[in-house]
Structure 1
Amino acid sequence: MAKKYDVIVIGAGPGGLTAGLYASRANLSVLILDRGIYGGQMNNTAEVENYPGFKSILGPDLAEKMYQGATQFGAEYAYGSVEKVEVNGDLKQVITDSETYEAPVVIIATGSQYRKLGVKGEAEYAGRGVSYCAVCDGAFFKDQPLAVIGGGDSAVEEGVYLAKLASNVNIIHRRNQLRAQKILQERAFANDKIDFTWDTVVTKINGDGQKVTSVSTHNKKTGEDGELKVNGVFIYVGVIPLSEPFKELGITDEQGWIKTDELMQTSLPGVYAIGDVRAKELRQITTAVGDGSIAGQQAFNYLESLKD
């Protein structure tokens, strides 16, 4: 038998935790599901400087505070990897690898994950010099040369963080200018431990069979091939939505992002999507929290409408 709730929130990042807070505070029975630790990508963020109320706070600390707030009104938290969601009239079944849950409202907050570079050596040296999380792995490379691949906020922000640990950080970007916020760019340009390699792509990650030793590069403008000696490669080349379990519902676009209106409602009544999995322009902790508060309130409104 499926375990029954009023609202099931899939994903325990900032959006999911906020949705759980608002829905449970409205006296609804709420389950927050996640396949890992609550907090999502906040756990992989060294410092959060753009969340209101804190001049600066460690990502894992903010995750803990949000979790405590989200569960204070009775919302339950459970581990589970969602395999699919089935819609049967007003009820939705959430089928995980271990349990089946049922609720009239499902809020999808599964977020996104870092895109792989897709070059030879990336998979082979994952965890042995190839990383997607500076906070997780940066300490392993103290006083060693590192490469950061990418030019957006994550690449530059994590490059600045890694420069505190590494002997040198080389940010490799396929264009001739960064896409990151200006304040992040200024910090990186002012750091004498950070170098930049422009108009360049990494074509291969090299190693000695045990760990990374260098990256092979190709300059798109000059056509010149090169090699950069590094002991670690941190990859930040975009994100992809974690929406695979929901594609059969017909609520995603061609890239897999879930489409919603301004009230977070998908094309299926009672199914909402929030945060980084949603098709939108800005993906930040603050925007996820905003999405979550709207969805949590809309869950209450939707359940009230079923009583009419």
Structure 2
Amino acid sequence: MLDAALQNQLKTYLENVREPIELVPSSDDSAKSREMAELLSEIAALSDKVSVAAEEANERSPSFAIRRTGTDIAVRFAGLPMGHEFTSLVLALLHVGGHKPKTPEDVLDQVRALDGDYHFETYFSLSCQNCPDVVQALNLMSVVNPRIRHTAIDGGSFKQEVEDRKVMAVPSVYLNGEPFGQGRMELEQILAKLDTGSEAKAAEKLSAKEPYEVLIVGGGPAGAAAGVYAARKGIRTGIVAERFGGQVLDTMGIENFTSIKYTEGPKLGAELEEHVRHNEVDLMNLQRAEELIPAAEEGGYHELRLKNGASLKARAIILSTGARWRQLGVPGEEEYRNKGVAYCPHCDGPLFKGKPVAVIGGGNSGVEAAIDLAGIVKEVTLIEYDGSLRADEVLQRKLRSLKNVRIITSAMTTEVNGNGEKVTGLTYKDRDSGESHELTLDGIFVQIGLVPNTEWLQGTVALTQHGEIEVDAKGGTSVPGVYAGGDATTTPFKQIVIAMGEGSKAALGAFDYLMRLAPPEEQREAA
């Protein structure tokens, strides 16, 4: 089940287990149960603090609990947590086994203080890179607070259950049998939904922070690079990020990052965060910026207001807010979002196994999505607005070699069709003939490019008609002391390596700006 390298790695991790734990299986006569039994035996053989207990009845088989011996502290996996969820399995073993988590103690205290009985169920897919964050957060909560229970469920192993609950996007979380949330969520976000007073406390704490020399808005590759470069200049630096890592976290294979032949988005995102924290940058994650108030005079403090009501100040601001997936903007898209309309083929593709789907978009991302999905679904129809595909030729050749892929060009999607509960197809217009056609589908994956996250900056800094921040050669914007870098700007070619370079340049530009200002004491004397 586990190769030698994984066994050696896991054995090293299990040396951190402090309390004895038992693996409690619930099996049937399926091949999956036999695989689970093999996995549990291999894990138990790696540590004298881990044992396999007797079978236990459970509503889901195969499944297994990880329980601290003699206590009610436990988490449960339904199906085999391999792929991206193997890390969740490792952390569950450690935390149930008494290893101290890295989560700040004040956050853990919030979890302990939750009053009520909470039974969470999370549906994940083994190829979903966003699912582990949710699974790990809820697992940790169930370890910290005995009134919280959590079961992580592999949707691919419990297809009927997924059908019955109409789960069409992962991660999907249920609380006490009712839908709780979909998509990537951090522990703090889950807490905010359960503890309504936590947001006000967080805002008060943030507003009490001293002003920064440089404050970066956005935590993707550009923001991370800006943070490292600014902090290395010895100036007080902060990063406000709605989701540290940004679009990188939704990217699977990265093969064009110079000097690294292959990596994956979640791994790169974790390494970016580690590098940023190593340089003692004040990272404020899960915080959304809502308003920028420029300084009244050059050299003064700019003010950044956050959605939770907090206010931060800095002498220089770097905007690296990145971009998000562009939507079709047609009837039915929003209604059936996460009900068949999806934007992440890696996350949600396995939920459409054996079913017909469409991919909208003939650029690199669209063609790559179609190639990936072709190995899972019954049939892929790729729909492109232009008269020909725009993806790299090597990708087009691969796509055309697949027998279950159909390509339709010069086609404009006009409507997403559904039955009130889920997608049933789409309507498109042939741009050459003007005729409308309908396709019967179970899923629609939208891959038509990116939109800069700059709506909140309207009227503050100069933007193009497409919403991109206009920048000069040093990353400067139309507002003195405000710089920008990455996918949100007019810099062409939206690539990770380019975003990092532009973020670094913006930080150097901001530092140059600060060095040319009169020293703070001289400013006070002049006033």
User: TM range, normalised to the smaller chain?
Assistant: over 0.9
Residues 1-308 of structure 1: pairs in structure 2 closer than 5 A: 3=209, 4-36=211-243, 38-78=244-284, 79-88=286-295, 89=297, 90=299, 91-98=301-308, 99-307=310-518
TM-score when normalising by structure 1: 0.94
Amino acid at match of 1:237: I
Cα distance in 2, alignment partners of residues 148 and 186 from structure 1? 17
CA drift of 1:2 comes to 5.8
- Change in 2 beyond 3 A, CA 1:191/1:76: farther
Cα distance in 2, alignment partners of residues 164 and 56 from structure 1? 21
Does the CA contact (< 8 Å) of 2:389 and 2:409 recur in 1? no
Q: State the aligned residue count.
A: 307
Structure 1 gap ranges (5+): none
CA drift of 1:182 comes to 2.4
Does the CA contact (< 8 Å) of 1:84 and 1:245 recur in 2? yes
CA drift of 1:198 comes to 1.5
Amino acid at match of 2:516: S
CA drift of 1:293 comes to 1.2
CA drift of 1:18 comes to 0.8
Amino acid at match of 2:302: K
Provide, for residues 167-216 of structure 1, a one-character-per-residue CA deviation record: whole Å limited to 9, x for no partner.
Answer: 22111012221112223222222333322011112221112221111111
Cα distance in 2, alignment partners of residues 63 and 187 from structure 1? 29
Is the partner of 2:426 in helix, strand or coil?
strand
Bigger strand share: 1
Once the two structures are aligned, what percentage of the paired residues are identical?
Answer: 34
Query: Which has the higher Rg, Structure 1 or Structure 2?
Result: 2
Structure 2 gap ranges (5+): 1-206, 520-527
TM-score when normalising by structure 2: 0.56
The answer to which structure, 1 or 2, has the higher relative contact order (CA under 8 A, 6+ apart) is 1
CA drift of 1:96 comes to 0.5
Does the CA contact (< 8 Å) of 1:2 and 1:102 recur in 2? no
Amino acid at match of 1:32: I
Does the CA contact (< 8 Å) of 2:374 and 2:380 recur in 1? yes
Choose 153-162 or 85-94, whichever is displaced more: 153-162
Does the CA contact (< 8 Å) of 1:46 and 1:161 recur in 2? no
CA drift of 1:259 comes to 0.3
CA drift of 1:63 comes to 1.0
Provide, for residues 43-90 of structure 1, a one-character-per-residue CA deviation record: whole Å limited to 9, x for no partner.
Answer: 111211111122221111111111111221100211311111111222
Cα distance in 2, alignment partners of residues 106 and 74 from structure 1? 18
Cα distance in 1, alignment partners of residues 461 and 245 from structure 2? 28
Provide, for residues 93-140 of structure 1, a one-character-per-residue CA deviation record: whole Å limited to 9, x for no partner.
Answer: 111123111111110011112222121211110000001222232222
Amino acid at match of 2:368: E
Cα distance in 1, alignment partners of residues 278 and 305 from structure 2? 26
Cα distance in 2, alignment partners of residues 241 and 109 from structure 1? 10
CA drift of 1:152 comes to 1.5
Amino acid at match of 2:276: A
Cα distance in 1, alignment partners of residues 515 and 224 from structure 2? 22
Bigger helix share: 2
Cα distance in 2, alignment partners of residues 187 and 24 from structure 1? 44
